[in-house]
């Protein structure tokens, strides 16, 4: 499997720490303090952080803060391409770091097959935030996203919840043509169009190629599809 260098500056207006890991693509990797070689919970216990500037060389990835005691995911966000991040886009709602917290990074390599892309997404509902993925997405072909953890589709994992926001990240250089929410019988609920991501010319964000707000109750069998075009 391929690996990629990742780094995250995490802190508040008074202090920060740098966390690094050579991440194996396709799995969560524990990042540690670059000076003390300890997890975030031991490096920054009881500190309240308000930004996470996470980057990787291939720029397709998500981060999460996880309780090692309960395995509960506390926060999740996107990784930017190394050299293309800023405090404004990396701000988070303040979070007090507990001693059992881990900071983890999940990355995907650029798809080696021509005319195919890898895609990650973060989906917000009234139950929280979930990471979704689609690999080997063929150009101009509707492809469903599935849970990064359970491999379940949108409606099967989150039925009964209300979806409020979808953020989509396509591999470096790729275009998000659109994202579509569909019913179990194939009927379309919503279609919204996407774009490119910085540093690609025309991009508006270093983190996503589409941020879509909505208010959709989720039922069994519903799916979230994406259509992409490679660079």
Break the chain into its structural domains and give their ranges.
3-107, 116-229
Angle at 72 between CA 71 and CA 75, to 5 degrees: 125
Per DSSP, 126 falls in state T
- The whole model's pTM is what? 0.94
73 CB contacts (<8 Å, ≥6 apart)? Answer: 64, 65, 66, 128, 129
119: closest CA among 145, 84, 156?
A: 145
Q: For residue 200, what are its two tokens?
A: 């690609």
Could you please report the per-residue DSSP string of 85-100?
Answer: --TTTTEEEEEEPPTT
pLDDT of residue 198: 65
Place of tokens 């920054």: 44
Report angle CA 219, 215, 90 to the nearest 5 degrees: 115
The pLDDT, as a whole number, for residue 202 is: 65
Task: Identify which of 115, 109, 98 has the alpha carbon closest to the alpha carbon of residue 48.
Answer: 98
Residue 216: what pLDDT?
98
For the chain, residues with pLDDT lower than 70 are: 198, 200-203, 206
């Amino acid at each position: 499997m391929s690996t990629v260098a990742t780094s995250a500056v995490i802190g508040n207006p008074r202090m920060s720490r740098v966390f690094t890991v050579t991440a194996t693509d396709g799995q969560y990797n524990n990042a540690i303090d670059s000076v003390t070689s300890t997890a975030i919970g031991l490096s920054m216990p009881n500190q309240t952080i308000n930004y996470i500037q996470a980057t990787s060389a291939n720029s397709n990835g998500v981060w999460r803060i996880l309780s090692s005691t309960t395995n509960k995911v506390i926060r999740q966000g996107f990784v930017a391409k190394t050299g293309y991040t800023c405090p404004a886009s990396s701000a988070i709602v303040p979070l007090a770091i507990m001693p059992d917290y881990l900071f983890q990074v999940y990355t995907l390599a650029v798809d080696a097959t021509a005319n195919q892309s890898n895609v990650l997404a973060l989906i917000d509902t009234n139950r929280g935030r979930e990471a979704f993925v689609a690999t080997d997405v063929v150009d101009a072909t509707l492809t469903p996203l599935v849970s990064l953890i359970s491999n379940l589709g949108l409606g099967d994992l989150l039925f009964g919840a209300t979806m409020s926001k979808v953020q989509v990240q396509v591999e470096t250089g790729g275009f998000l043509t659109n994202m579509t929410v569909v019913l179990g019988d194939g009927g379309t609920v919503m279609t919204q169009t996407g774009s490119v991501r910085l540093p690609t010319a025309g991009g508006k964000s270093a983190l996503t190629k589409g941020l879509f707000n909505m208010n959709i109750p989720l039922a069994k069998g519903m799916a979230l599809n994406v259509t992409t075009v490679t660079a």
